[in-house]
A = this chain, B = another copy of it.
Amino acid sequence: MSTFGQYFRVTTYGESHCRSVGCIVDGCPPGMILTEDDIQPQMTRRRPGQSALTTPRNEKDRVEIQSGTEFGITLGTPIGMVVRNEDQRPKDYGGSTMDLYPRPSHADFTYLEKYGVKASSGGGRSSARETIGRVAAGAIAEKYLNLSHGIEIVAFVSSVGEQQLFPPTTTYPNPTSNPEFLELLKTIDRKTVDSFVPIRCPNTEAAEKMTKVIEHFRDRQDSIGGTVTCVIRNVPVGLGEPCFDKLEAKLAHAMLSIPATKGFEIGSGFQGCEIAGSTHNDPFVVATVQGENGSKQRLTTKTNNSGGIQGGISNGADIYFRVAFKPPATIGQAQTTASYDFEEGVLEAKGRHDPCVVPRAVPIVEAMSALVVIDALMAQNARETAKNLLPPLPQTIPTRPTGSKPPAQASEAQ
């Protein structure tokens, strides 16, 4: 299905060589200021040719809002968005130019098997151009999240090949417990990330090393993978729908739907499996926050191995997770493989292609994050509104003798 979300619904269309790619955003709240200027920056960050990022005249991948706004204000009706494909000519329909070989580890073979027909050139629907609609929709979601709740979403490259932004140390074998890492999560912004273009790893030394890794593989007409880490700040407590639609389940779904991804981990992740519960648990502490009516107390956690989500529901702490991207499948090196006609042979893919996708994946990870969070937010806001319209219960939560000695808590395996 080409639709994502229940409340803020995004439906995309488009192949690599058709007239245009785009999407319809259904469910955007009415009354929000919105123009193409809110959307274009993320489109440009996603675009091929990142070094041209600052060139103002580059008109490629221009998004056009078709509907759903008037005088730059959202109407609450579906927002259609279109991005022209500049070179929309598919290959001539003839044997000599048709691909004989499905690219290894690419979608050529599985698409043809699935549909029985296949776009004749480029990746068709499996092309990275498919992500344009996601990024456009994500930019709208982000604007709402930021305006309404101050939510901030920032992704950055955390590894390329074996080169890590935070390699394990003796003191911090799991980087997610490294105070430097946690501090970075609190402060990193997109401007800083983009100052490290084309790598988008916010550390000079690491970025340089990663650049060399990519150059190494590029020069051999080979490719290499990497990881992107993303943080979402200022998320209200209570987002995420048990049981199947836990917040981390939706994030995992969203991330693994991005082309070339191989893994997802939240908070302490895979390495968290190797830590004792007594260390891994995030104890509660009391925080004082300033609200509209003076300061008040609320619970927060001392550590954040949970990655901001407990029991599938956001707990108010920073949400952070990591996504694995494999080395791109299309490489210039000769590969011994087999043709659609069951002939063994050698494929050499010509043309320009990314030797590593993670720098350009950054805005896509942010966009999909925004789509997950806005949907969970609208679901929870709907629930709270529905609840608040009920008459108050005589006694919702039983009175507890404040400060009394806490009883031991009994639980049992279920």
Contact = CB atoms under 8 A, between A and B. Distances in A.
A226 to B, nearest CB: 5
A273 B78 contact: no
B100 A311 contact: no
Given A32-B390, A105-B282, A408 B119 contact: no
A208 interface: no
A262 B273 contact: yes
Interface string A308-343: 011111110000000011111111010111111111
A288 to B, nearest CB: 9
Contacts of A224: 273-277
A15 interface: yes
A276 to B, nearest CB: 5
Interface string A271-310: 0111111101111111000000000011101000111011
Contact of A100 (B4, B24, B64, B400): B400
Interface residues of A, number: 218
A26 B382 CA distance: 14
A347 interface: yes
Contacts of A284: 101-102, 104, 109, 337-338
Interface stretch (A51-59, A179-187, A195-203, A252-260): A252-260
A254 to B, nearest CB: 8
Nearest to A280: B327
Contacts of A22: 66, 80
20 contacts: A1-B244, A19-B65, A75-B118, A94-B398, A98-B400, A105-B306, A125-B242, A130-B243, A226-B273, A256-B264, A257-B312, A272-B326, A273-B325, A285-B337, A286-B338, A339-B406, A341-B403, A348-B409, A353-B411, A381-B389
In the A-B complex, list the 5 residue pairs whose CB atoms are closest, starting with the nearest. A107-B311, A223-B277, A263-B265, A382-B382, A225-B273
